[in-house]
Amino acid sequence: MDKKPPDQWRELLTCAEASQKSGLNAFTLWSRVRGGSIRSYRRNGKVYVTLEDIGDWMPLWYRGHEAAIREAHAAGEPDAHTARILGLSRERVRQLRTRLGLPVNPPKPRLPKAFAPREV
């Protein structure tokens, strides 16, 4: 938890208030605050978060990766390549692709190995 508060205290929300405004589960927010992945602020013994900090953390499936996965799939890219581009794991790309109902693209063929000439 950060000790330095934002500029205005009025933008601070409890986890319950923030979950209502953001649409995320309060327990999810609280666990992310405890784990340190969402910045939080302490005032008078209570923990507060801001909607901006929640927006910075928002789970990947809320960030529009589905559109990028559709485009990469249409271009014939395999999941591993799409994952590298988006900064996700290959498994997460597979999960999103399956949810979208897209079939598996075959992996691209490997390039032949280039052997260095031997020194004589």
Spans of all domains in the chain: 9-58, 61-99
Tell me how far CA of residue 2 lies from CA of 11, 39, 43, 98, in angstroms: 15, 7, 11, 38
Q: Under a CB-based contact definition with an 8 Å cutoff, are residues 105 and 79 in contact?
A: yes
What digits encode the pLDDT tens for the residues 51-102? 888 888 876 556 678 888 999 999 999 999 888 888 789 998 999 999 999 9
3 or 113, higher pLDDT: 113
Question: Stretch 32-45: mean pLDDT, rounded?
Answer: 88
The pLDDT of residue 75: 93
pTM of the model: 0.48
